Amino acid sequence: MPDRPYVIDQMISAKMIAARIEELCAEIQAEFNGTDKLVVVGLLRGSFVFIADLVRELDLPIEVDFLEASSYGDAMESSREVRILKDLRGAIEGRDVLVVEDIVDTGHTLHHVVNLLRSRAPARLKSIALLDKPDRREIDMKADWTGFEIPDEFVVGYGIDFAQRNRNLGYIGKVRFT
């Protein structure tokens, strides 16, 4: 639990997120047009709201699976050590795969996950992140699609938490300590 009081300032509204998801899904559908099934892999826990909205908007045959990777714990800074806490249930060899991440900052988590999944020989492997913080990047890793580029601020909402709080906000907000 956060040990000092904070407020949350809205950065990206629910309407802006919904509009951007529509645009992104049009691009994803064009990329994966003709697929027999797209395996959408959500990185838990922060991506669960984003993945739900994405799959509802996509007009493709879809299978959903989840992978839980951690580099934060309850901290505000990445530890840079990526641990897989929950692996996929299904095989992805020879299949089309879309990895869904909530936020790319240092790049370590997405890099680790993409390399892990690539080693399992999918037919195509693409990634999407709701948020991108390029100012925090430590390794050269960028999602194939990005919802919003944001400054180096600690954010919550729309599935993203601060010590397991604020995931239920319908918008993206910046944490400001008071």
Whether residue 127 is contained in a domain is answered as yes
Whether residue 48 is contained in a domain is answered as yes
**Phi/psi of residue 126, each to 5°?**
-125, 165
Containing structural domain, residue 31: 14-150
* Number of alpha carbons in the 13 Å side-chain half-sphere of residue 21: 21
Whether residue 125 is contained in a domain is answered as yes
pLDDT digits (tens, 9 = 90+) for 94-106: 999 999 999 999 9
Q: Is the dihedral of CA 115, 134, 13, 71 positive or negative?
A: positive
In the predicted model, what is the mean pLDDT of residues 27-53?
96
- What pLDDT is recorded for position 35? 97
Q: What percent of the chain has pLDDT over 70?
A: 94
What's the number of domains the chain is made of?
1
- What pLDDT is recorded for position 163? 86
Instruction: Return the CATH number at 52.
Output: 3.40.50.2020
140 is catalytic: no
Q: Give the pTM.
A: 0.91
Whether residue 98 is contained in a domain is answered as yes
Q: Which of 120, 174, 131 is nearest to 43 (CA)?
A: 131
Whether residue 144 is contained in a domain is answered as yes
Whether residue 23 is contained in a domain is answered as yes
**Band (124; pLDDT cuts 50, 70, 90):** very high
CB 103 within 8 A of CB 117: no
**Phi/psi of residue 129, each to 5°?**
-130, 135
Q: Is the pLDDT of residue 74 over 60?
A: no
**Helices 14-32 and 48-57: crossing angle, nearest 10°?**
60
Catalytic residue selected from 36, 105, 140, 152: 105
Q: Which residues contact 119 (CB under 8 A, 6 or more apart)?
A: none
Whether residue 74 is contained in a domain is answered as yes
Whether residue 6 is contained in a domain is answered as no
Q: How far, in whole angstroms, is CA 57 from its chain's centroid?
A: 16
pLDDT digits (tens, 9 = 90+) for 161-172: 998 899 999 999
Q: Which residues contact 34 (CB under 8 A, 6 or more apart)?
A: none
* Number of alpha carbons in the 13 Å side-chain half-sphere of residue 148: 20
